Homo-oligomer: A and B are copies of this chain.
Amino acid sequence: MTAINLNADVGESYGRFTVGNDEAMMKVIKSASIACGFHAGDPMVMAKAVSLARENGVSIGAHPSFHDIQGFGRRRIRMSGKEVEAMVAYQIGALAGIAAGAGLKVTHVKPHGALNNMAHEDAAYATAIARAIRAVDRDLIFVANACSEMVKAGQREGLRVAEEAYADRAYDDDGKLASRELPDAMITDPERAARQVLSFIEAGALVTRSGRKLPARIHTFCAHGDEATGVAVVSAVRDALEANGIRVVPLPELSF
């Protein structure tokens, strides 16, 4: 492997409610997954995130969510596949509308929060998301959790799928993120995050908390922009990748 992507979730403020440090994060990532107004990210916050992405040569993607500002998109909401499909298409389009003003194109889509968690294991949700992406623009890259139903659904729908692993989260043996309630689920130490990333690349796999290896072709690593340690984690990961001769590039520059 000679090139990989680093992405983070940005634009997660809402009105006067501020989350994360987008200015700093945009300097270290190569792709930004931008909230689209459903869990965070009103139009002004989105426009600001797009503008920062342009200044920093960062590619942009939509980060669609259930419509739940109060729950930050982290509460599971039951809806039909058709509803999910329309909801995701709406949000991709909304970001494209904002991005047009800055002369940028949306190049990837990555589901957020509870929608992501549900689509990880539920083929109907995964397929609905993949279909929404294909309907809006079949050149969009689907950023999907490695080892998830989303990877399969994206491939079935003929999309380019970027398999994603988290630099700052521990994994369970079923390939899911360990619950945030477990003491070691969140990796806030930048050096430990960098070691996790290198170990995943070396193994060609997610390495779980128990040491098990789940084979995956990882295209992109992510860290949480809403964590206080997010920027430090991403910086350490980027330094470790570059020190190991791996170029860190925007998603559209990867080969799939």
Question: Across the interface, which residues of B come within 8 angstroms of A74, CB to CB?
Answer: 16
Q: A15-B69, A69-B69, A94-B94 are in contact. Are A101 and B79 (CB under 8 A)?
A: no
Among A41-49, A150-158, A163-171, A182-190, the one that faces the other chain is A41-49
What is the distance, in angstroms, from A193's C-beta to the closest C-beta of chain B?
A: 22
A95 CB within 8 Å of chain B: yes
- Looking across the interface, which residue of chain B has its beta carbon closest to that of A114? B78
Q: A97-B93, A97-B94 are in contact. Are A72 and B136 (CB under 8 A)?
A: no
A52 CB within 8 Å of chain B: no
A1 CB within 8 Å of chain B: no
Question: Across the interface, which residues of B come within 8 angstroms of A226, CB to CB?
Answer: 16
- Looking across the interface, which residue of chain B has its beta carbon closest to that of A62? B97
Copies of this chain, how many?
4
Choose among B77, B96, B100 the residue that contacts A97 (Cβ–Cβ < 8 A). Answer: B96
A247 CB within 8 Å of chain B: no
Q: Are A85 and B101 in contact (CB under 8 A)?
A: yes
Chain A residues 27 to 46 lying within 8 A of chain B, measured CB to CB, are 37, 42-44, 46
> Could you list 17 further interchain pairs (A-B, Cβ under 8 angstroms) beyond the known A16-B72, A92-B97, A100-B137?
A17-B18, A17-B72, A46-B86, A69-B69, A71-B77, A75-B77, A75-B79, A76-B77, A76-B78, A86-B101, A89-B97, A89-B100, A90-B94, A93-B95, A93-B100, A96-B96, A101-B132
Which residue numbers of A lie inside 8 Å of B, CB to CB? Answer: 14-19, 37, 42-44, 46-47, 67-72, 74-79, 82-83, 85-87, 89-98, 100-101, 114, 132, 135-137, 226
